[in-house]
Structure 1
Amino acid sequence: MNKLSDMAMFATIVKLKSMAGAGRELGMSAASVTTRLRALEDRYGVKLLNRTTRHISLTDIGEIYYRSCLEILDSVNETEHLIKQGVRATQGPIKIVAPKDISKLIILPILSEFIAEYPEVTPHLYFDDHVHNIADRGVDIVIRYGELNDSNVISRRLGKSERTLCASPEYLKEHGIPQTPNDLLEHDALVMSSDHEALKTWYFRKGSKLESVVVKAKYLSDDGEIIKELALRGQGIAMKSLLDIKEDIQHGRLVTVLDDYVKNFNSATTENSTDLKVYYLDKRHQPKRIRLFLDFLYHKFAELEKAEKA
């Protein structure tokens, strides 16, 4: 067996977390998979997987080998595709993960323009605010607010944003306008959740002073669009990214409060900690269609920022 097929086998084992499952997918017996894995580990003199009868996990060196396998196999697949199909490098999928609100407002129109220029590209757009590892999810691009803790990616700022507190005029007329963060304790909060954890602690900075408030959640959701809809319906005060609610503010459907504070779901209440950013894997042989889309994305966001300043 050659090294490339060993890489494919190892990546399949990790993906399925099962020797037997990898064997079924590769047309091999579980015993053959186990034998080849042992031979692979013996070849390099390292242990790549921690294995019990019920559980498989990567060792530290196994994690490094696995990421290298994914990168090499992806490059080989891309090369084979171009050779076999004999087509332009702009044909194929682009898998993008982005928040639902910003996708509907901005990303979808940009994608539509891009596909009009490159009709052979097939976009896959997934709504998810909780991606932590691009390689494991098998996506090309992640668009999100704030930082992504993944050392294997490159990041670039798309647009300036900030978190703001907002509510409908009707809600504020009935319940009053909070003047300090502590006033929020008397209000209904519309709370985001992330990885099944409610983000009920809201942080506020004014000058050098940082304070936090644990708000009373009337509703919780892991979908930012739901939180905005509840705010529009007068159900409480929400913490949202300004890019998501800009049009609602302009048309008077939502009103911002406590504007003289910098706000966030964590203590990193700095000016750029909530900016909209794009993340992608640092691939030496990145497909042309992804490079083209990233350049298109940067250009469109630059146009939007220029239009706002005009």
Structure 2
Amino acid sequence: MDKFSDMEMFASIVKHQGLAAAGRELGLSPATMTARLQALEERYGIKLLNRSTRHISLTDSGDLYHKACLEILDSVRGTENLLQKGVKEVKGSLKISAPKDVGKQYILPILSEFVERYPEVTPYLYLNDHLSNIAESGIDVVIRYGELADSNLILRRLASSRRVLCASPEYLVKKGTPLTPQDLAGHDCLAMIRSHEELKTWHFQLNEQRKSVTVVPKRFSDDGEVIRRWALEGAGIALKSLIDVQVDINERRLVTVLNGYMKNFDTSTSMSSTNLNVVYMSRQYQPKRIRLFLDFLFEKFETELNIPKARG
């Protein structure tokens, strides 16, 4: 069988949580389904599913393959739909959610240019720092840091990033520059609130050594843009995504400290937890305006914006 058919089969198995139900959808016998799945795993030399008599679950490799299958199948079906129905006028609503810093600095000008190109598109831009249930929110495109645990969503990396500690030059002249994470105890820190949780325990890694420091913040906010503004005003040290403050650093409005350390709000040291991603629903017939906007968004980030690369 061809690879596309294998992808359809595997996506159906995961969707129905079983080979028999997937086989009924595809018109294949249980024996054929089992043989094709075994052949697929043998082709790549990996195990894709953990199977018992009543339950199946994805392995790490299976989860990666499943996400790729959904994206490829979604793209092919969308192309087929366009070919069958013809290219229609690009119009309708386009609902986007993004963190405030990224939304105002990057997404807003990109969206404005897109709407200028396609004036029949009506944009809705929601700026917030909270994760949404995409399936229930009605949002077409969600831009977020980190990953979302939902295999029914398509996730694509928009830009690599990392966390940095930063403060204004004026603040550092006044308060001094911390040389170790422990030095933060003597500094004014600016902390985020996420889902009513105060993110005041900051985690650091230098080589293989890990250290967690609970700071005593002078100010809190659930708005990342407010944290950045306070840092620019000299109110203290902030733990921010590099993308949010890259322009401020380039123009010396902010200075990074403790640069040798990997930093995060949680104990994860995975760089993927700080990357900027685009998340959207997997749809059999994705509206052309959404597909065009996604292509436009990735093109802008790849070719025109000075987005930093992640480093340790």
TM above 0.5, yes or no, is yes
Residue of structure 1 in register with 2:262 after alignment:
262
**Paired position in structure 2 for 1:126:** 126
Q: For 1:104-253, list aligned pairs within 5 A.
A: 104-253=104-253
Specify the alignment match of 1:101 in structure 2: 101
Maintained 8 Å contact 1:132/1:148: no
- Hey, what's the Cα distance between the residues in 2 that align with 1:290 and 1:231? 35
Question: How far apart in 2 are the matches of 1:203 and 1:267?
Answer: 6
Alpha-carbon distance, 1:89 to partner: 5.0
Runs of 4+ more than 6 Å apart: 306-309
Q: Deviations over 1:248-267 (max 9, x none)?
A: 11111111000101111111
**Distance in 1 between the 2:214 and 2:125 partners?**
34
Q: Secondary structure at the match of 1:179?
A: coil
Deviation at 1:269, TM superposition (A): 2.0
Corresponding residue pairs, total: 224
Partner of 1:294: 294
Q: Structure 1 residues 204, 285: CA separation in 2 closer, same or farther (over 3 Å shift)?
A: same
**Residues 177/306 of structure 1: CA separation in 2 closer, same or farther (3 Å cut):** closer
- 1:33 counterpart residue number: none
TM-score, scaled relative to structure 1: 0.69
Residues 90 and 289 of structure 1 are in contact (CA less than 8 Å); yes or no, is this contact kept in structure 2?
Answer: yes
| 1:223-243: CA deviation from partner (whole Å, max 9, x where unpaired) | 111101111111110011111
For 2:187, the aligned partner's letter is H
Shift in CA distance, 279/307, structure 1 to aligned 2, threshold 3 Å: closer
Distance 2:305 2:263 in 1: 22
Match of 1:273, SS state, is: helix
Secondary structure, counterpart of 1:272 in structure 2:
helix
Partner of 2:50: none
Report percent identity of matched pairs: 57
Q: 1:99 to 1:211 in 2, by over 3 A?
A: same
Instruction: Specify the SS of the correspondent of 2:285.
Output: coil
Q: What runs of 5+ residues in structure 2 fail to find an aligned partner? A: 1-85
Q: Is the 8 A contact 1:165 1:240 kept in 2?
A: yes
1:190 shift after superposition: 0.3
Query: Is contact 2:161–2:308 with CA below 8 Å preserved after alignment?
Result: no
| CA drift at 1:305 | 5.8
Determine if contact 2:242/2:308 at 8 Å carries over to the other structure. no
SS in 2 for 1:286: coil
RMSD: 1.9
Q: Deviations over 1:260-307 (max 9, x none)?
A: 011111111222320111000011111111111111111111114678
One-letter code aligned to 1:286: Q
Give TM-score scaled by structure 2 length.
0.69
